[in-house]
Structure 1
Amino acid sequence: MASDTTAQAAPARPVAEDRRRTLRQLVRYTLIGGSGIALDMVVFLLLHNWAGLDEQIANALSTTLAITNNFVLNALFTFERRDRIVVRFLRFYAVGLTGIALTNLLFLVFTDALGIDANLVKAGSLPLVLALQFGLNRKWSFA
């Protein structure tokens, strides 16, 4: 009987460790994402509000800079993967493009169709983009 209990309890330990590891990764990913968000927003505001670029172009440029920043930091600190760096960057960038696409869709709906300020739409899109990209990057870019 004791061996049955031990055998049943054994799988719980790796599951608990995996959950802790995932939580640590999520916290690091979110912190690094915060630096990327700050960089993204500052560059977007400068390009859109100061330089007068269209919000779609400003978004693509600011997001690309943030994606590159976040890739380097996540490769080093979150997922601790330094192998196949070019492949991983291309996957990470492809995931980043989903964020650009989602944000641009939100611009079309909320800014172009409903007249909501592009700065608010950009800021409001960030939590949605973060959640989508964490899942994709964890399972594909850094798997």
Structure 2
Amino acid sequence: MTETTARIDVPETSQTVRQLVRYTLIGGSGVALDLVVFLLLHNVAGMNEQFANVISTTLAITNNFVLNARFTFERRDRIVVRFLRFYAVGLTGIALTNLLFLAFTDGLGVNANIVKAGSMPLVLALQFVLNRKWSFA
């Protein structure tokens, strides 16, 4: 009698989980940087929320790329190409957040700080998938 069992590729699953945890931790540093810079530019300097978002997110993208290349995906080859891909993925986050600003801040009058903070988990999930499959593949 033979037993049939589904084969689970534990190393691949384990690697994905480790990468997700590292990506999330590094993303946390990027979120903190992004949010602090956004709040300073928008609330203190009085900059338009969409411009403040582009600047703060660009700083966070650069921070996250350097840390993810080193610690999460451990890839140091084709660094310029990978950064351009990572930045392109980051642009999806900027675009998504700016669309949410248009809908919620401009359209419904929701505070821009709340929209910015609320958009971050959605952007994180989208960008992890895109970066894992494209930027660091």
TM-score category by the smaller chain?
Answer: over 0.9
| Unaligned ranges ≥5, structure 2 | none
What is the CA–CA distance in structure 2 between the aligned matches of 1:74 and 1:55, rounded to whole Å? 27
Report how far residue 12 of structure 1 moved: 2.6
> Which residue does the alignment assign to 2:117?
123
Does residue 102 (structure 1) correspond to residue 99 (structure 2)? The answer is no
Q: Note the alpha carbon deviations across 1:27-79, whole angstroms, 9 max, x for none.
A: 00000000000000000000000001000000000000000000000000000
- TM-score relative to the length of structure 2: 0.96
The AA in structure 2 aligned to 1:124 is G
Task: State the TM-score, normalizing by the size of structure 1.
Answer: 0.92
Q: Name 1:77's counterpart in structure 2.
A: 71
Please state if 1:22 is matched with 2:16. yes
Largest Rg, 1 or 2: 1
Higher helix share: 1
Q: Which of 62, 68, 75 is 2:56 aligned to?
A: 62
**What is the deviation of 1:101?**
0.3
Unaligned runs of 5+ in 1: none
1:16 Cα deviation from its structure 2 partner: 1.6
Report the Cα distance in structure 2 between the residues aligned to 1:12 and 1:81, rounded to whole angstroms. Answer: 28
The percent identity for this pair of structures is 77
Match of 2:109, SS? coil
Where does structure 1 differ by over 2 angstroms across 4 or more consecutive aligned residues?
A: none
